[in-house]
Amino acid sequence: MIIDSSEGSLKAFLGTLPTVDEVGVQGRAAMLATRSVKTTSKAWAIDMAISMIDLTTLEGADTPGKVRAICAKAVRPDAMDLSVPSVGAVCVYNDMVRTARSALDQIGGSSIPVAAVATAFPSGRASFAVKAQDTLDAINAGAGEIDMVIDRGAFLSGRYSEVFDEIVKIKELCGNKAHLKVILETGELVTLDNVRKASYLAMLAGADFIKTSTGKVVPAATAPVVLVMLEAVRDFYSMTKTRIGVKPAGGIRTTKDAIKQLVLVNEIAGPEWLNPQLFRIGASALLNDLLLQRMKMRDGYYASPSYVTMD
Amino acid sequence: MAGNDSSRIDVQKTYKLFIGGAFPRSESGRTYQLKDSKGNHLANPCLASRKDLRDAVVVARGALAGWSGATAYNRGQILYRMAEILEGRTSQLVTEICALEGVTARAATLQVQESIDLLVWYAGWSDKISALAGSTNPVSGPFYNFSIPEPIGVVAIFAAAKPSLLNFVGAIASVITSGNTAIVIAAEKFPLPAITFAECMATSDLPGGVVNVLTGFSSELVPWVASHMDIDAIDASGLTPKALKEVQIAGVQNLKRIKVHTSVKAEQRILDFMEIKTVWHPIGI
Amino acid sequence: MSTFDYAPALESTAIVSIAERYGLFINGKFVAPKSGKYFPTINPATEKVLAKIASANSADVDLAVAAARAAYVKVWSKMPAAERGKYLFRIARIIQERSREFAVLESLDNGKPIRESRDTDIPLAAAHFFYHAGWADKLQYSGNGASPKPLGVVGQIIPWNFPMLMLAWKVAPALATGNTVVLKPAETTSLTALLFAEVCQQAGLPEGVVNIITGAGGTGALLVNHPGIDKVAFTGSTEVGKLIATSIAGSKKSATLELGGKAANIIYDDAAIDEAVEGIVNGIFFNQGHVCCAGSRLLVQENVHEEVLAKLKVRMGHIRLGNPLDKNTDIGAINSAAQLAKIKELSAAGDSEGAERWSAPCELPSQGFWFPPTIFTGVSQTHRIAREEIFGPVLSLLTFRTPQEAVEKANNTPYGLSAGIWTDKGSKILWTASKLRAGVIWANTFNKFDPASPFGGYKESGWGREGGRHGLSAYLKASN
């Protein structure tokens, strides 16, 4: 064990982490953004990106109909082209988990997990009892993945053990029924130093994935943030031989955005992370853009949004 | 020195070198005969050797960290102190200048006064030259970028001849005000004001080794100064064109900065013996 | 395909048209060399001949210098400064307009990755003209007195590592300050200079203000020794710089020399390690290490050197070596067979002196000149690879224990061009920066360049500065 869960040992460990130079990270991210991914590697990247999507709807206006529709899309993103892979997961609020699970099961998507946002998503401002119940509701409804939020207030006021303990307890509730993704909400942590610290805090507490954002705060999954999180999982692996996954979410809307994410994964964490078990992209509109680009590559001419489904 | 009209026998001064804050004789034991402008014997100053030069470079290099590391305010005060002491030595210097340069006492007095004022002028530059020659540079990117002048290191000076004290003082002051240390080869025919001024420096809180004064034949020292790999720059104002070329060729070996000045009072003289250093740092959180 | 190998993404060469052979650019026109001689320039990535380049002899140099003198006397020195500046603005704009063409041509002739020629060399070259254009009518504020004057005709000799960028570093300040120019590019990389001649024509620059003569070292010597020039500006090796300094001794010619380096890149134990590793890579592998200010001596605090080395090796494994025109290439071709031989010779000296060599695993193309990104560990200050400029993608790792030791080792070289400092502690940055005897200090970054930032070295790294307000002094007679 690298640490015990005491405040002192957490602070001491986080203090040993090297700092992050923001300008240096921006420079590295900008350089990697110039990678030109064409032809065969673009085709590969598009399918990989589709299979990594956590197809998401997190609206107050979500209805069973809306959720069933995205489930259909998750299983068969392009009804006219069955070579298109299914997405990585469907991501919903916990009251929609049962609807999503049964919809997926009915249409041949039983292998696609339902991810539920939990722990008083997106703000995380509730008692732990509420957060725990939130989580349990989702698991009991059939969620295979829990996307919890950390207590950013506790983190920013330096109460790291509170953040840590909550993750540990939610992880216990997940048990072997659900994978745990820990949302750092990096837009509220602001600095890359905080992103690195929070990443380690989550990994040490038992996260299976670290996730950038709720999608409700801007900025979300910026390249520098994802880069720092990818460095964290890479270095955590060299310390512990455990590979933790990364999920950027928020603001990734185009094929170009998604391919830039895959380049980051490839050159920062390494190709071992280039699979849906270790990298997911939280998105909704992205899927259609990937499908349009896929059509262009398949057909050789530019596609129209009229030929992809609107759900 | 000429005697007074009393019958008392003068106590004459032995003119020695100034190295590391002390006044040694040349290690070679050599002297040369110095005559006044009318051809009368005046003194037997030291004829410095290449080994004296070598010793002077060692102490100048040794003094560099302390002198360049002193605050500019402190350096300015010490240069001003040199002016104070020089003021009190006026009559002796007037005598020496009259004898060597064959000028009137009034002209010699004016030269000493001008030298004092020149020291004061350079003293004031110590803590201003960086503001004048430094800059912050608006680079295109998230970087703070600034340039500052820094002393170049150990500077050898071939002091120009007449007006000998003024040239000598100006060369030294312009070189050391920024933090350089110096080895000065006094003009061959005018060593006396140089050594008397060295005595002023020795009593001015100037750390030993910051300025070192050699007297003798510059033709003998030129090749050794020019080729010395631990000398960073040369003020060659006192050299003939032929000697200058010789210095330029030999100085290539370590790419010495070799400068010639005509004006004794110019901020460019200070900057000629400084290097511009530019520092970049990211601006981020 | 089961892994993410980027497919070839080649920049099109359709944008450039390379002539079979090139004359000299004298007095606004391309003219056949009086020498009648031409030599080939090759693409170092393929060893294929790109074009024949004229070899200027003394008659050609005479013509070029005479043209520059006439332009100086009759036109350029009489033109209102603001109008002079407008020509530089025009040139900047045309370089921007034709930037992709310049970038492709540069990568073809030099071997550098298109990413660097496209994103660094050419944009910076345009920026240099833009920056200096604005100085033309403000020279009285440049710290050179109330009415500084140009020197006259300037002979400029530039190296092969950043052909177009070095041209801009030389030509832009010279023209802005009112001088006229005879420029000689390096013999292996003349093509972008000759394309620049076309830019001068398009800009309507008066004839003779810029003259470009091509040829090898002998042509350069003719230029340096020509009695008709007032100043020499040279960028290149310290060895040649010393020859130039010797040959102008005793003359009225002034000189600026931008020479070699053996920069220390100091990594303290409290550095932002990941960004430091990035800075190390950028410091030595940028432009195949063909960089005078490259961070070729890596000084790592001993208590973190294992971690730094481990991360560095992982990072070096991601460097993509190959076709310079592939947009994903990080390391292109070594510029010439001669340079490759020098890199191999010094690396072999590293082996024989007992340092341990590690090269990133990458396949070298069968044609062309290539050297893999390489690091030597177990290097001490006495090794040749720690003292001599390799000018290639070869890094020497040394360790230190205290800041004092770091500074002593960093300064323990006849060079003094640049240095790097990596630490999270502000006061340590300023302490170290003040102790380092180098003209350009990069703290928590490396290999950054900007026209507003003076560049140039201490000690044997040269004379004078280029860029910024300070660079103007090199082309002006100060008035007091």
pLDDT one-digit tens code per residue, B125-144: 999 999 999 999 999 999 99
Strand pairing report for C254-258 and C231-235: parallel
**Closest CA–CA distance from residue B142 to any residue of chain C (Å):** 11
Q: In what order do the strands lie in the sheet with B274-282?
A: B135-136, B143-151, B274-282, C440-443, C418-422, C264-267, C297-301, C394-400, C374-377, C356-359
A contacts of C5 (beta carbons < 8 Å): 41
Instruction: Compute CA distances A166 → A122, A159, A163, B82, B255, whole Å.
Output: 15, 11, 5, 72, 66
**Closest CA–CA distance from residue B120 to any residue of chain C (Å):** 20
Kindly determine whether residue C439 and residue B241, on different chains, have CB atoms separated by under 8 Å.
no
Kindly determine whether residue B282 and residue A191, on different chains, have CB atoms separated by under 8 Å.
no
In the A/C pair of chains, how many CB contacts fall below 8 A?
Answer: 71
Kindly determine whether residue C9 and residue A34, on different chains, have CB atoms separated by under 8 Å.
no
pLDDT of residue B10: 87
Q: Average model confidence (pLDDT) for chain B?
A: 96
* Ranges in chain C annotated CATH 3.40.605.10: 21-259+459-477
C-alpha–C-alpha distance, residues A47 and C461, integer Å: 53
Closest-CA residue of chain A to B142: A23
C contacts of A273 (beta carbons < 8 Å): none
Subunits next to C (3 or more Cβ pairs <8 Å) are: A, B
Q: Average model confidence (pLDDT) for chain C?
A: 97
Q: Which of A211, A257, A260, A289 is catalytic?
A: A211
DSSP letter (8 states) at residue C451: T
B contacts of C465 (beta carbons < 8 Å): 276
C-alpha–C-alpha distance, residues A144 and A115, integer Å: 6
Q: Fold for domain B34-282?
A: Aldehyde Dehydrogenase; Chain A, domain 1 (3.40.605)
**Closest CA–CA distance from residue C186 to any residue of chain A (Å):** 29
Q: Which of C258, C389, C460, C466 is catalytic?
A: C258
Closest-CA residue of chain A to B283: A23
Is the pLDDT confidence value at B3 over 70?
no
Consecutive H or E run containing B111: helix B105-125
Q: Are A225 and A196 within 8 A, CB to CB? A: no
Nearest to C444 among B147, B244, B281 (CB): B281
Strand pairing report for A179-183 and C210-212: unpaired
Q: Are B187 and B167 within 8 A, CB to CB? A: yes
Kindly determine whether residue B254 and residue C456, on different chains, have CB atoms separated by under 8 Å.
no
pLDDT of residue C2: 62
pLDDT of residue A175: 97
| Residue B241 contacts A where some CB pair is shorter than 8 Å | no
**Closest CA–CA distance from residue A41 to any residue of chain B (Å):** 33
Interface of A with B (CB under 8 A): 21-24, 26, 190-192
Q: For B212-236, write each residue's pLDDT tens digit.
A: 999 999 999 999 999 999 999 999 9
How many C-beta atoms surround the C-beta of residue B64 within 10 A?
19
Provide the strand spans (E) within chain A: 53-56, 89-92, 114-118, 145-149, 179-183, 209-211, 245-247, 281-283
Is the pLDDT confidence value at C319 over 90?
yes
C contacts of A20 (beta carbons < 8 Å): 272, 274-275
Kindly determine whether residue A21 and residue B285, on different chains, have CB atoms separated by under 8 Å.
no
Q: Are C392 and C343 within 8 A, CB to CB? A: yes
Dihedral sign from CA coordinates of B228, B229, B230, B231 = positive
Is the pLDDT confidence value at B1 over 70?
no
A contacts of B143 (beta carbons < 8 Å): 23
Q: For C381-400, write each residue's pLDDT tens digit.
A: 999 999 999 999 999 999 99
* Ranges in chain C annotated CATH 3.40.309.10: 264-443
Pull the structure tokens for residue A249.
């979410």
Coil, strand or helix at A130: helix
Interface of C with B (CB under 8 A): 127, 143, 238, 241-242, 245-246, 249-250, 257, 259, 414, 429, 433, 438-445, 448, 450, 452-456, 458-460, 462-463, 465, 468-470, 478, 480
Subunits next to B (3 or more Cβ pairs <8 Å) are: A, C
pLDDT band at C3; cut points 50, 70, 90: confident
**Closest CA–CA distance from residue B129 to any residue of chain C (Å):** 12
Q: For C256-311, write each residue's pLDDT tens digit.
A: 999 999 999 999 999 999 999 999 999 999 999 999 999 999 999 999 999 999 99
Q: Which residue has the tokens 């323990």?
A: C412
pLDDT of residue A172: 98
Q: Catalytic site residue A42? A: no
pLDDT of residue C461: 97
Instruction: Compute CA distances B269 → A28, B175, B274, C480, whole Å.
Output: 44, 7, 9, 11
Closest-CA residue of chain A to C328: A35
Closest-CA residue of chain B to A20: B285
C-alpha–C-alpha distance, residues C455 and B230, integer Å: 24
Strand pairing report for C394-400 and A145-149: unpaired
pLDDT of residue B7: 86
Q: Considering only the top CATH level, what class is C21-259+459-477? A: alpha beta
C-alpha–C-alpha distance, residues C400 and C409, integer Å: 8
C-alpha–C-alpha distance, residues A56 and A252, integer Å: 12
**Closest CA–CA distance from residue C273 to any residue of chain A (Å):** 6
Domains, chain A, ordered by start: 7-298 (3.20.20.70)
What average pLDDT does the segment C333-362 reach? 97
C contacts of A274 (beta carbons < 8 Å): 3-4
Closest-CA residue of chain B to A189: B285
Closest-CA residue of chain A to B143: A23
Q: For B257-278, write each residue's pLDDT tens digit.
A: 999 999 999 999 999 999 999 9
Q: Which residue has the tokens 């013509």?
A: C63
pLDDT of residue A1: 63
Q: What is the mean pLDDT of each run of 10 residues along chain A (311 residues)?
A: 84 95 98 96 97 97 97 95 97 97 97 98 97 98 98 97 97 98 98 98 98 97 98 97 98 97 98 98 97 96 92 74
Q: Across the strands, what pairs with C149?
A: C477
A contacts of B282 (beta carbons < 8 Å): 21-24
Is the pLDDT confidence value at C238 over 80?
yes
Kindly determine whether residue B285 and residue A23, on different chains, have CB atoms separated by under 8 Å.
no
DSSP letter (8 states) at residue B31: B
C contacts of B133 (beta carbons < 8 Å): 143, 470
C-alpha–C-alpha distance, residues A283 and A55, integer Å: 6
Consecutive H or E run containing C299: strand C297-301
pLDDT of residue C479: 86
B contacts of A190 (beta carbons < 8 Å): 285
How many C-beta atoms surround the C-beta of residue C317 within 10 A?
13
Q: For B27-71, write each residue's pLDDT tens digit.
A: 999 999 999 989 999 999 999 999 999 999 999 999 999 999 999
Q: Which CATH architecture has domain C264-443?
A: 3-Layer(aba) Sandwich (3.40)
Kindly determine whether residue A35 and residue C278, on different chains, have CB atoms separated by under 8 Å.
no
**Closest CA–CA distance from residue A28 to any residue of chain C (Å):** 7
What average pLDDT does the segment C85-94 reach? 98
Q: Which residue has the tokens 């991210």?
A: A29
pLDDT of residue A5: 78
Instruction: Compute CA distances A229 → A20, A235, C320, C399, C406, whole Å.
Output: 11, 10, 23, 30, 32
Q: Are C158 and C189 within 8 A, CB to CB? A: no
B contacts of A21 (beta carbons < 8 Å): 282, 284
Q: For C17-33, write each residue's pLDDT tens digit.
A: 999 999 999 999 999 99
Kindly determine whether residue B252 and residue C245, on different chains, have CB atoms separated by under 8 Å.
yes
The percent of residues in chain C predicted with pLDDT above 90, rounded, is 99
Kindly determine whether residue C9 and residue A37, on different chains, have CB atoms separated by under 8 Å.
yes
Q: Which of C11, C101, C116, C292 is catalytic?
A: C292
Q: How do the domains of chain B map onto residue ranges? A: 34-282
What pTM does this model have? 0.96
| Residue B11 contacts A where some CB pair is shorter than 8 Å | no
Q: Catalytic site residue A177? A: no
C-alpha–C-alpha distance, residues A258 and A291, integer Å: 12
| Residue B142 contacts A where some CB pair is shorter than 8 Å | yes
| Residue B282 contacts A where some CB pair is shorter than 8 Å | yes
pLDDT of residue B4: 56
Q: Are A147 and A116 within 8 A, CB to CB? A: yes
C contacts of A28 (beta carbons < 8 Å): 275, 278
**Closest CA–CA distance from residue B274 to any residue of chain C (Å):** 10
Kindly determine whether residue C143 and residue B257, on different chains, have CB atoms separated by under 8 Å.
no
Kindly determine whether residue C6 and residue A36, on different chains, have CB atoms separated by under 8 Å.
yes
